[in-house]
Amino acid sequence: MRLPWLQISDAIKDRLTSAGAPGIWAANISDEVMYAEVSGRQTHGFDMLEAMLTRTERTCEIPLVEDNVSSAGLVVEAKGHPGPVVAAAAVDGARRAADEHGIGVAAARSASTFLAAGYHPYQLALTGRYATIAVSVAKARVAPIGARRAVLGTNPLAIGAPSTHGPLVIDIAMTPLPAAEVRRRAKTGEPLPPGLAVDSEGEPTTDAAAATEGAIFPFGGYKGSGLAVLIEALAGGLLGVKCGLRHGDLRGMVFIVIKADLWASADTVSSAIGDLIEDITSSPPLGGEPPAAPGLRTHRAITTALTYGVELQPSRLAKLTALGVDLPSSR
């Protein structure tokens, strides 16, 4: 069935409010869940709502603490709050600092991070006023190059910038499959591709359940491993939280927001990046599919869903209904 975006979003907000979420929390969570779901990241969309409800119930009366470490940035201290709420507070601080200084930086120490790294870079790029970098450190599930045990997180990285064709956004984990997809396959019994993981004994496996007890490998060999290490240092080490196998369970997020008109006019920036996208998409294809620029498929999916509604497959509708989200078909 197809339902208007706002009808689904409002129903999710109502369910979060019934769990104790203040209005702004409900909006933060619902908006990011909808972005992930509609952009094709179901493991980070409706599948995460149950965890968000649980975190809301536990922390709705505990305030977030924001510490302005400098005029150009702040750090948010969370106590188990839902990741989208923490991320939204940090990003808003970085954006305000960018409005004043041209560049703003914010970080957060939290047990839970954003659901989709690309969400805030997308939203800020959509305004045409900002470029954004977002990173976070995740639980140790990734073996560094040459190793057989998990030391690093999947450590997502997202970068977004405005263009005349819509936000240019890349959102990647440091592994071929995100951790949530590995967990999903562990539940369904769907195998992993060969060469992706080892079990708890360090032996190669295609069993996703065994991989959750062992480690998965980074993409791109030493390059992906190196990126994962650097993000671990930036979003973990610099914040004094989870970094490698030590320093506790708290995880870090870092956001860097840059005004689009810092070095050139915002129109010049959007036009230049739009030209880049045209150069990419107009290039002769190597195979059957034409070249694609990162983020444009997500932008089209979201624009289409906002205009014509969201197509909910029966399993996705059942997921929401089971969590107490009140939609027309469940009445």
Per-residue pLDDT for 27 more than 70?
yes
Q: Judge residue 200's burial from the number of C-beta atoms within 10 Å of its C-beta, 0-12 exposed, 13-18 middle, 19 or more buried.
A: middle
Non-local (6+) Cβ contacts of 330 within 8 A are: 317, 320, 321
pLDDT at 79: 87
In this structure, how many other beta carbons lie within 10 angstroms of the beta carbon of residue 68? Answer: 12
pLDDT at 329: 63
Residue 88, Cα to own-chain centre: how many angstroms? 12
Question: Sorting pLDDT into bands at 50, 70 and 90, what band is 5?
Answer: very high
Half-sphere exposure for 229 (CA within 13 Å, toward CB): 9
Listed residue (226, 314, 305, 252) closest to 34, CA to CA? 305
pLDDT one-digit tens code per residue, 268-316: 999 999 999 999 999 999 888 889 999 999 999 999 999 999 999 999 9
Distance CA 4, CA 249 (A): 39
φ/ψ of 36, rounded to 5, equals -65, -45
pLDDT at 296: 94
In this structure, how many other beta carbons lie within 10 angstroms of the beta carbon of residue 329? Answer: 12
Query: What are 62's two structure tokens?
Result: 């505990």
pLDDT one-digit tens code per residue, 211-255: 999 999 999 999 999 999 999 999 999 999 999 998 888 999 999
pLDDT averaged over the chain?
94
Distance CA 66, CA 7 (A): 33
Task: For residue 10, give the amino acid letter.
Answer: D
Share of the chain above pLDDT 90, in %: 86
pLDDT at 269: 98
Per-residue pLDDT for 331 more than 60?
no
Distance CA 39, CA 33 (A): 10
Query: What are 165's two structure tokens?
Result: 């064709």
Query: What are 136's two structure tokens?
Result: 């976070």
Average pLDDT over every residue of 64-73: 81
Average pLDDT over every residue of 14-24: 96
Distance CA 94, CA 135 (A): 14
Distance CA 137, CA 153 (A): 6
